[in-house]
Amino acid sequence: MRITLGEILKTLHEHQGEAKKGLQDKLQDKLQDKYPNVTQAAWRVLDAITENPRLTAGEIASRLDLKERMVRNHLATLKDLKLIERQGSNKTGFWVRCEPHGR
């Protein structure tokens, strides 16, 4: 049985994706343990901006079926906890996920 380089690379890529997802899940679990007062909706907002840092509050609200005002409140909570920060302007900027320190 011969295995092609393409098959090897495809298998490797699939396993790397699984390992990365597992690591992200573990990190998320640790963050939720560290910040028990943060709501599930706020964690969903964090997941959305992790996937696409250029999303606006309105786009996040549409994706998650939330009110834009609630998304803005969740973003403020995440900023206060120093889990995210905004880089650049409100119009052309993007979200950066930060590593929490000293908590």
Q: Are residues 21 and 2 in the same domain?
A: yes
Q: Are 46 and 60 in contact (CB under 8 A)?
A: no
> Does position 4 have pLDDT exceeding 80, yes or no?
no
Q: Are residues 61 and 80 in the same domain?
A: yes
Pairwise pLDDT comparison (36 vs 101), residue with the higher score: 36
Q: Are residues 3 and 30 in the same domain?
A: yes
DSSP 48-94: HHHH-TT--HHHHHHHHT--HHHHHHHHHHHHHTTSEEEES-TTT-E
Q: Are residues 27 and 53 in the same domain?
A: no
Domain with 9 in it: 1-34
Q: How many domains does the chain have?
A: 2
Q: Are residues 30 and 43 in the same domain?
A: no
| pLDDT range class, residue 101, cuts 50, 70, 90 | low
17-75 pLDDT tens trace? 666 566 667 777 788 888 888 999 999 999 999 999 999 999 999 999 999 999 999 99
CATH of residue 44's domain is: 1.10.10.10
Q: Are residues 19 and 48 in the same domain?
A: no
Q: Are residues 94 and 49 in the same domain?
A: yes
20 φ/ψ angles, rounded to the nearest 5 degrees: -65, -45
Q: Are residues 19 and 64 in the same domain?
A: no
- The candidate with the shortest Cα–Cα distance to 30, out of 100, 82, 81, 96, is 100
Q: Are residues 56 and 72 in the same domain?
A: yes
Predicted pLDDT of residue 25: 72
| pLDDT range class, residue 5, cuts 50, 70, 90 | confident
Q: Are 98 and 84 in contact (CB under 8 A)?
A: yes
The residue type at 56? T
Predicted pLDDT of residue 103: 46
